[in-house]
Chains A and B, each alone.
Chain A
Amino acid sequence: MTLSTEIATLPQQAGRERSRPARPLPVAAISTLTVAAILGLWSLASAYTLVSPVFLPSPRQVVLALYNLAVKGFVDATLAEHVGASLIRIFGALLASIAIGIPAGIAIGTSRVGRGILDPVVEFLRPLPPLAYLPLVIIWVGIGEASKITVIALSMLPSIILSTSAGVRSVSKDHVNAARSLGASKGQVLAEVVLPSAVPSILTGIRIALGAGWTTLVAAELVAASSGIGFMIQSAAQFLVTDIVIAGIVVIALIAILLEYLARQIERRLVPWASHR
């Protein structure tokens, strides 16, 4: 039975094979075409004023807005100053969450007591949308920089803690035993074996945390800030300056892509061995 169906399908397959183009279109080319198509449709829509320019400025206007933002600025600050304010917040928060998250992750990964204490805290925090606790943080910490950094750091914490504890727990038993048989104390096993083997996982956690933190940052700035890229968009929206709103969104997306790219480069530099385990 199988024989007969095979014989029946073989010529068809050969036919399909022949009609297929020699080299399929690379994914990157398809993506480029998609972006071009979107930009094209956008241009057409604004050129024929299918949508009011107040709601959808032309791509040209947005580029102009970007230029003006960079040179003259908007609401008392240039684009660079807004972006700078945002970046300071996110990296401040990243440092804080690394300083807390890595030790917490180690505690969860290495000790039963640590896991017992910290697991419920992490599991409570993890599914919460950061904006849900932003008002509370503002009440506690005030409206200044500290509240934004706190909220961003809280949104970054779970992924750093969980990736650290996962990395710590995934350490090879032979690696630990080798160190012990070569004379390592408990502390040395932790410092020389467990932590290094957790680094790839920790870096992945940091990369995910940056993504989460960036989302939270923009949202937090929309709610309460007097500078920053999110604040810039919010102010522009209040005056219906749509071209600046769109320009700001583009900038946010570009920075997010850049951060992701940088994080991947750092991973490749720092742990080239991770792909060879």
Chain B
Amino acid sequence: MSILTFRNVSLRYPQRAGNRPGGDVPVLEGIDLQIASDELVAVIGRSGAGKTSLLNLAAGFIAPTTGTIAVDGVPIQGPGADRAVVFQDDALYPWLNARDNVAFPLKLKGVPVAARRERADKLLEKVGLAEAGDRPIWELSGGMRQRVGIARALAAEPRFLLLDEPLGALDALTRSRMQEFILRIKAESGAGTILITHSIDEALLLGTRIIVLSPNPGRLSAEIEAGFSAEVLSGASVAAVKASPLFKRMHAGLTGLIHAAPDDEVAA
């Protein structure tokens, strides 16, 4: 069991030259957060609330202005394979076929060719793309590409999966199929997961916990436990779960929370 901890984290971007004077632009303020291996924490909030910044901090792509981010008590020093990221625009390597994309983290570790090929094929099978290993990634559909991206992240055997709106660019039908897929993958891998999303439906359905960020500067404005993912995992149909009165009530509640945030000019 690993724990990813944000302790009193804030993030400010320095004011660019030419802008009005007045100091730095605050993006996130006073973030305290713990994510354990058995959790899927869905982060929602309006555009500009700092959702992606939160994920970039967890990934180590950017350093917090104040506060610390730690894995099992050890402060992170930049990005690392213990926190694998899945990007909205998949960020697969077009010069590699699907299998070599999945094998990429193994190549970085120096795993021999045959072994990483075998492991990559297993992972592709796991994400339902057993036949796609030799295909160039530009031939794959958006949903397939995201599954390759998730398989690639899993190949790094991360302790945490950081999903940055992985389903944001997909059509509605693919998206709902991918939501169940992510639930199962997360349950099997046992990696603590942060899911950034725009969709309240998606957050409620997938998250064991839902965090609402309010903008200007981004703060945690609400934290809600949800159990719908467990229902789906134990066999309930997504449609039935979404139709339940509790789901609808929580959906309405979250919608209210997101829109109740002060309606200042949204910072990019």
A residues in contact (CB < 8 Å) with B: 172, 174-175, 177-185, 188, 192-193, 196-197, 199, 271-273, 276-277
Known: A188-B108, A276-B94. A182 touches B152 (CB 8 A): yes
A181 close to B84 (CB less than 8 A): yes
Smallest beta-carbon distance A193→chain B, Å: 7
B4 interfacial by beta-carbon distance below 8 Å: no
Please classify how large the interface on chain B is, using the bins under 10, 10 to 19, 20 to 34, 35 or more: 20 to 34
A199 close to B91 (CB less than 8 A): no
Considering only CB atoms, which chain A residue lies closest to B162 in the complex?
A: A181
Contact of A182 among B60, B89, B95, B104 (CB under 8 A): B104
B85 close to A178 (CB less than 8 A): yes
A183 close to B105 (CB less than 8 A): yes
A183 close to B91 (CB less than 8 A): no
Bound CA span A183–B152, Å: 12
A-side binding surface: helix, strand, loop or mixed? helix
A196 close to B80 (CB less than 8 A): no
Knowing that A174-B87, A175-B93 are A-B contacts, what are 7 other residue pairs whose CB atoms are under 8 Å apart, sorted by A's residue number? A181-B156, A182-B84, A182-B105, A183-B109, A188-B108, A192-B107, A196-B95
B residues in contact (CB < 8 Å) with A: 59-61, 78-81, 83-85, 87, 89, 91, 93-95, 104-105, 107-109, 136, 138, 152-153, 155-156, 162
A273 close to B59 (CB less than 8 A): no
Residues of A with C-beta under 8 A to B152: 178, 182
Known: A197-B95, A272-B136. A178 touches B87 (CB 8 A): yes
Known: A172-B91, A196-B95, A197-B95. A179 touches B108 (CB 8 A): yes
Residues of A with C-beta under 8 A to B104: 179, 182, 192
Residues of B with C-beta under 8 A to A174: 87, 89, 91
Residues of A with C-beta under 8 A to B155: 182
A182 close to B93 (CB less than 8 A): no
Contact of B59 among A177, A184, A276 (CB under 8 A): A177
Bound CA span A199–B95, Å: 10
Known: A188-B108, A192-B104. A181 touches B85 (CB 8 A): yes
Bound CA span A273–B137, Å: 9
B108 close to A177 (CB less than 8 A): no
Known: A177-B91, A181-B85, A183-B156. A273 touches B138 (CB 8 A): yes
Between-chain CB contacts (< 8 Å), 7 pairs = A177-B79, A177-B91, A180-B79, A182-B105, A192-B104, A272-B136, A277-B94
Smallest beta-carbon distance B204→chain A, Å: 27
Bound CA span A177–B87, Å: 10
Residues of A with C-beta under 8 A to B60: 180-181
